[in-house]
A and B are shown apart, each in its own frame.
Chain A
C-alpha cells in the first residue's frame, strides 16, 4: 500500500463508520447480560415458547421466589463480610509490609521479599489441599474466618505498594526522621495522603478476587448459612435447574453489588485492572 491516502477529516459531524463495528461488538458482549435480565422478568411459560421474545409484563415475582427459596440475604452478607474484611486488612498489612520492604534493611529482608514474590507464581490449586489441612488444624473448617485468613495479606498487594514506595523520593521522609518521628508516624501522616491511587487499586482488586472467588469457598464451606454468594448461586442452580426465570433472578441478585460498584467506580476499576493487568 504505497499510494498516499488523503487523511480523513477528524472533526466532521457525520457518524463515524466505526459505529458499524462497535454496535455489533457491544451488542454481542452485552447480549448475555441483557438476556439474563429479560429472562429474570419473564414467566416460566414465556421462556418455553418459540420463538423467545420480550416478557409480556415485568414479572418481579421471580425475584421474590429467588430471595425466599434461598438464604440469598445470608450469602450476600457473608460475601460482604469476607470481602470487606480482606480489603481492609490488605490495605493495612500490605502498606506496612510494602513500606518495610521498600525502606528498611533488616536481616533476611531481601530473602523474605523474594519468598513473598515466589508465592505469587504458585497456582492456588497447588496450595489448596495443604491450606485446607492447615485450616482443619486450626478448627476453622466451615467458618467465615477460614475464608478470610488466607487472603488477609496478599503478596501482590505487598509488591504493588513496595513499588509505589520505591517511586517516592526519600527526601520526603528525611526531615521527619531527623525530628525523631517513628516510621509508623511517617507512614500515617506523611505518606498516607499520597497513597490514594495504589491503595484504591489494592482495594478494587482484592474486592473483586475475594467476592468472585469460588474454588476455596467450595472446598472449605459446607453449611448453606456460611456460604458466599458464588457457591450459594452454584448450589441454587443445581436445585432449581430449568426454572430459568428464578435462576436468572438469583444470578442478577448475586451480581448486583459488583455491578453497582462497577458503575459507580468504573474509572477506578478500569484503571486498577489496566495498570496491573490482574483480573
Chain B
C-alpha cells in the first residue's frame, strides 16, 4: 500500500537529487549526452562575476526581507488578536495576500510601482515626497522587490503568529496584569518570549524562501535593470534554460542546497529554546 508513493518519491524525489549532483560534474546542454567535466563547473563558479553579484543581491534581499517581514507579521498578529468589532474583516484583508499567486502579485506591483502612472508615485508626489523609479532603476529595483514580497508574506507570518498567540493561555496574561504588569508589558515580556519556537520556525521558513526567490523577479524585472535583481535562482534559471549550461546550473543548485541546509541548521540551533526543545508550538 506504500508502494505507489514510494515509487513516485523515488523517481521524482530521490533520483533527481542524486542526478543533480551527478550533473554538476558534467557539461550538459539538455539536448545531447553530457560530458564529464570534473570540478570545472565549480571552479568556473568561483570566478564568475555575475554569480558573485547574484549572491550579493540574494544576501541583501534576504537580510532586508526576513527581519522586516518577521517584525511586521508579529505586530499585525498582535493587532489582529484583539476582540474588536469587524475583526473578521480585518483578518480577511491581511490574509488574502497569502492565497494571491506570486505572479499576480508581480503584475499588480508592476502597475502600483509604475514610475509614471503608478499609484504609489502619485501619492508620494502629492505628499511632496521624492518619487522613485522602483523596478526601472538599478538603484531601487531590489528594494521594490523587497516591498512587494513583504506584502506577499506578512499575511502568512501574521497567520502563524496569530495561531500561536491564541494558543497562549489567557490566565498567564491576566495573572501578570494582576501583579501590576501593563498590557503592553505583558505582550513584550510574556507573549513574545513564548512565541520563540514559532519565531524560530518562521525565521527558517522565510529565509529558505528568500534564498529561493524567483517568481516575482521573473515577472517584474527579469533580473534587470543592469543585473540589479539577478538573484541566485534567477541566474540558475538563465544558465539552464537560456544558455543551456545545465551542468553549470546544477552546480549552482548544489551550492544553493548546501547553503540552505547550513543556514537552516544554524538557525534551528540558535532559536531552539531549551525549555521547549522538541515541540514546535
| A positions within 8 Å CB-CB of B | 1-5, 7-8, 15-16, 18-19, 21-22, 25-27, 29-33, 35-36, 39, 47-48, 50-52, 93-94, 96-97, 99-101, 104, 106, 109, 112, 115-116, 118-119, 121-134, 149-150, 152-153, 155, 158, 183-184, 208, 211-212, 214-215, 218-219, 230-231, 233-234, 237, 244, 247-248, 251, 254-255, 258-259, 262, 266, 269-270, 273-275, 277, 279
Q: Is B59 part of the binding interface, using a Cβ–Cβ cutoff of 8 Å?
A: no
CA distance A62 to B214 in the complex (A): 29
List chain B residues, Cβ under 8 A from A51: 122, 126
Question: Is B163 in the interface zone, CB < 8 Å from A?
Answer: yes
- Which 3 pairs across A and B sit closest by C-beta, in order of nearness? A119-B13, A127-B16, A274-B163
Within 8 A of A (CB), among B149-186: 151, 153-156, 159-160, 162-163, 177, 180-183, 185
User: Does B236 have its Cβ within 8 Å of any Cβ on chain A?
Assistant: yes
- Which of B42-50, B80-88, B132-140, B270-278 interfaces with chain A? B80-88
Q: Is the CB of A214 within 8 A of B254?
A: no
> Which range holds the interface residue count of chain B?
35 or more
Given the interface contacts A234-B103, A237-B219, A255-B104, does A18 sit within 8 Å of B13 by beta carbon?
Answer: no
Residues of B within 8 A of A269 (CB): 95, 98-99
- Complex CA gap A126/B6 in Å reads 20
In the complex, what residues of A have CB within 8 A of residue B142's CB?
none
Asked whether B93 is an interface residue with its Cβ less than 8 Å from the other chain, the reply is: yes
Q: Are A96 and B9 in contact (CB under 8 A)?
A: no
A33: B residues at CB distance < 8 A:
96-97, 100, 108
Q: A29-B151, A29-B154, A274-B162 are known contacts. Are A259 and B79 too (CB-CB below 8 A)?
A: no
CB-defined contacts of A149 to chain B, threshold 8 Å: 8, 12
Residues of chain B touching chain A, judged by Cβ–Cβ distance below 8 Å, are 1-2, 4-6, 8-17, 19-20, 23, 30, 76, 79-80, 82, 84-87, 89-112, 114, 117, 119, 122, 126, 151, 153-156, 159-160, 162-163, 177, 180-183, 185, 201-202, 205, 208-209, 212, 214-215, 218-219, 233, 236-237, 240-241, 246, 249-250, 253-254, 256-257, 260-261, 264, 280
Min distance, Cβ A179 to any Cβ of chain B, angstroms = 20
Say what secondary structure dominates the interface of chain A: helix
B159 contacts across to A, CB distance below 8 A: 270, 273-274
The reply to whether A100 and B2 form a contact with Cβ atoms under 8 Å apart is: yes
In the complex, the answer to whether B102 meets A127 with C-beta atoms within 8 Å is no
B40 CB to nearest chain A CB (Å): 17
B residues less than 8 Å from A27 (CB atoms): 93
